[in-house]
Amino acid sequence: MTPDEKSLFLDAVGDVRPLKSGTDVHWEKSQPPRPRRHRDDLQLDNFLTTGFLEIVPLSEPLLFRRDGLQTGVLDKLRKGKYGREASLNLRQQSVERCRTLLYAFILQATRDGLRNLLIVHGRARSDNTHANVVRSYLARWLPEFDEVQAFAEAQPQHGGSGACYVSLRKSALAKLDNRERHAARRG
């Protein structure tokens, strides 16, 4: 260190005094390193948004039908005539957690070739309760999936206004299987 650097240093720390005894200093135990958070690549593609939401009134049942879907299919769905192949419980989950779970659930159901799902969101007592907010998000999110053909409020024995049935499109493999079965009957 040159004399100029030394004088600059002494000017900068001129009124600093050393600590008295070490009794006032308490050293914290070193914390173990936090585990690295595993990056969820699945959620990077999640297109569901949680921005502005128009609340669906409780008096309005959850109901959606994609163009081209037969009315009889929607009627059977509303009456709970299709067997449920999987279900998802979103009760008492944060909206962000519901978004994550729903996205993963629909993708997995599509991969597994499932067609009929039950999503339980919880029964709301008023329009502004958390359960109705989740219900309103479902009404917005489900049509965003191309795989979703329709959804409707569940029957009382399956959760009533606190749940909804979801119908997914047939997978390409299921369509081919169906075509082969019907071709065998005709031929």
Q: Which tens digit of pLDDT belongs to each residue from 41-72? A: 666 677 788 778 889 888 888 899 999 889 99
* Predicted local confidence at residue 26, as pLDDT: 55
Strand order in the sheet with 148-153: 63-65, 148-153, 163-168, 116-120, 86-89
The verdict on residue 120 lying in a domain is yes
* Predicted local confidence at residue 140, as pLDDT: 93
Which residue stretches of the chain have pLDDT < 50? Answer: none
* Predicted local confidence at residue 148, as pLDDT: 92
Q: Are 93 and 134 in contact (CB under 8 A)?
A: yes
* Predicted local confidence at residue 30, as pLDDT: 64
Please give the residue range of the domain that contains residue 67. Answer: 55-179
Q: Are 127 and 76 in contact (CB under 8 A)?
A: no
The verdict on residue 185 lying in a domain is no
| CB neighbour list of residue 12: distance below 8 Å, 6 or more residues apart | none
Its pTM stands at: 0.71
Q: Are 158 and 164 in contact (CB under 8 A)?
A: no
Angstrom distance (rounded) from CA 19 to CA 11: 19
* Predicted local confidence at residue 40, as pLDDT: 59
Q: What are the tokens at 82?
A: 């299709």
The total number of structural domains that make up the chain? 1
The verdict on residue 8 lying in a domain is no
Q: Are 121 and 153 in contact (CB under 8 A)?
A: no
The verdict on residue 3 lying in a domain is no
Q: pLDDT digits over 85-101, tens only?
A: 999 999 999 988 999 99
The verdict on residue 22 lying in a domain is no
The verdict on residue 99 lying in a domain is yes
**CATH code assigned at 125:** 3.30.1370.110
